Amino acid sequence: MQLPNLLASRRGRIAAFFLMYLTEGLPIGFASTTVATQLRRQGASAGEIGAFIGFVLLPWAFKWAYGPFVDLIASRRLGPRRGWILGAQLMMVLTLLALTGLDLTTQLGLFTAVLVVHNLFGAVQDVAVDALAVTTLPEHERAFASGMMFGGQSLGVLIGGGGALLLIGRIGFDTSIVLLALAILAVMTLVVWPMREEVPASAARGSLAAAGREVHTFLREALQALLGSRLAFAGLLFGLLPIAAMALSRGLQANLAVDLGLSNERIGWLATVSQAATAVTCIAGGWLSDRVNLRRAMAVYVALLSLPGLYLMAELQRHGWGPGQAAPAALVTTFFATVVIYHLLFGFIYGARVALFMGITQPAVAATQFAAYMALTNLSITYSVVWQGYAVQHWGYAATLGLDALVGLSCLLLLPFLKPKSS
């Protein structure tokens, strides 16, 4: 039976991009939730886990560098973008399978290296999928498709994180990894392989040297775009700063859950509910972003996102709890509530931040400038995970939550300078 070419219909295109983005979310959820939780159970320090997550997710901060290679090195037989997607997904499957049998305690270095390579191919796939979307989706489909793509990525984070944790207790760590690999393989064989991408007569035929020159050109143009005006420079600083308080979104959350005595199953359910909440409010936030003053909305979102962490900090201090102690039931309940509320609020800020960057981007250098802002945002996520792990190890959870809230509020200082000039 011949499988349908999903790119040939509107519903097919939406489904295809949803599922391809789902595979991109799998490695993010797997590294930041599943592996982080297992490392904590095996005695890794908060600082080590923070460094691990930051290092593993670092390839996503350099997506801008992969674009020229995807643009200039193309396969006419497989399709300019489809070929890259197939290759990246195949490598994602192989690198996941390579993780099976590795011991997190005695082979952490090798495990980390393989997972970095896995995320590298995940990031390359992301670039190729975005390029395919630009060349395939009609303009009237792009807004809805973008929302569905992020929903797919959120579902992937949910499956790779909370879903995998829920399965570990039943089928084991290695078998859970195999199932994640099979999920990517299913999308590759049932969705991407049957696709028929149009190959224009002017399809790129480049070389590694040409792609390298494109990267150099991008860096030069990005620097000019980001330093060319006070507005652009303010956007650069805004992109470098954390989105908001972030401690409850990544490594600290996984570490604290283990130290509070939560089972993998409970952590898995918490991650599942939290990620689902983010997906829903991100779509709602994108809808609101077209109807409210973005800078005011950002100020409100940033301020609100600091509150769950500050409240949890106060409760940790009130109970006098520390790692190694039995956690009171009330404190565990507070942890659950603050994490879910944080993720509900976080979805709103994502769409608003992206829209704000779009608003201050110069049309003449739109692709370069916006890609640079997104790269800086990914970099801010990476270094936040690293410093928070160090802070937890040396100063404790309560102090880290308070410092994270303060650092998260710092971006408010730049909002007055992010007013686009009237056209």
Q: What is the pLDDT of residue 367?
A: 53
* Same domain (yes/no): 168, 217: no
The whole-angstrom separation of Cα 279 and Cα 337 is: 17
Q: Which of 160, 187, 206 finishes a domain?
A: 206
DSSP 8-state assignment for residue 328: P
The whole-angstrom separation of Cα 120 and Cα 114 is: 10
Q: What is the pLDDT of residue 294?
A: 80
Whether the pLDDT of residue 83 is over 50: the answer is yes
201 — pLDDT class (breaks 50, 70, 90): low
Whether the pLDDT of residue 113 is over 80: the answer is yes
Region of poorest pLDDT, from 72-81, 206-215, 307-316, 401-410: 206-215
Q: What is the pLDDT of residue 251?
A: 75
* Same domain (yes/no): 117, 216: no
Region of poorest pLDDT, from 17-21, 132-136, 166-170, 322-326: 132-136
* Same domain (yes/no): 190, 221: no
Question: Which span out of 190-204, 246-260, 300-314, 373-387 was modeled with the highest average pLDDT?
Answer: 300-314
Rg of the chain on CA atoms, in Å? 21
* Same domain (yes/no): 200, 236: no
Q: What is the pLDDT of residue 1?
A: 65
The whole-angstrom separation of Cα 92 and Cα 125 is: 9
Whether the pLDDT of residue 4 is over 50: the answer is yes
82 Cα distance to chain centroid: 22
Higher pLDDT, 409 or 347: 409
Q: Label residue 199 exposed, middle or buried (CB < 10 Å: 0-12, 13-18, 19+).
A: middle
Whether the pLDDT of residue 308 is over 60: the answer is yes
Could you read off the pLDDT of 125-155 as tens digits, one per residue?
A: 988 887 788 778 786 776 567 667 777 888 8
* Same domain (yes/no): 197, 74: yes
Q: Which of 178, 206, 234 finishes a domain?
A: 206
Q: What is the pLDDT of residue 423?
A: 44
Q: What is the pLDDT of residue 419?
A: 83
Alpha-carbon torsion, ordered 332, 338, 341, 345, to 10 deg: -150
Whether the pLDDT of residue 356 is over 90: the answer is no
Please count the structural domains in the chain. 2
What is the end-to-end Cα distance of the chain in Å, rounded? 55
Higher pLDDT, 324 or 227: 324
* Same domain (yes/no): 169, 257: no
* Same domain (yes/no): 77, 66: yes
Q: What percent of the chain is predicted at pLDDT more than 70?
A: 88
Whether the pLDDT of residue 196 is over 50: the answer is yes
* Same domain (yes/no): 87, 117: yes
* Same domain (yes/no): 140, 253: no
DSSP string, 261-304: T--HHHHHHHHHHHHHHHHHHHHHHHHHHTTS-HHHHHHHHHHH
412 — pLDDT class (breaks 50, 70, 90): very high
* Same domain (yes/no): 87, 217: no
Domain of 310, CATH number, reads 1.20.1250.20
* Same domain (yes/no): 181, 214: no
Query: What is the span of the domain harbouring residue 368?
Result: 208-423
Q: What percent of the chain is predicted at pLDDT more than 90?
A: 38
Q: Take residue 391 and report the two structure tokens written for it.
A: 């802070």
Segment 305-319 mean pLDDT: 97
> What are the b/e assignments for 259-283, b being 16+ CB within 10 Å?
bbebebebbbbbbbbbbbbbbebbb
DSSP 8-state assignment for residue 416: G
CB atoms within 10 A of CB 202: 6
DSSP 8-state assignment for residue 3: P
Q: Which of 149, 177, 206 finishes a domain?
A: 206
Question: Which span out of 271-275, 281-285, 344-348, 407-411 was modeled with the highest average pLDDT?
Answer: 407-411
Contact 340, 25 (CB under 8 A): no
* Same domain (yes/no): 135, 218: no
Segment 19-43 mean pLDDT: 90
Could you read off the pLDDT of 254-271 as tens digits, one per residue?
A: 889 999 999 988 999 998
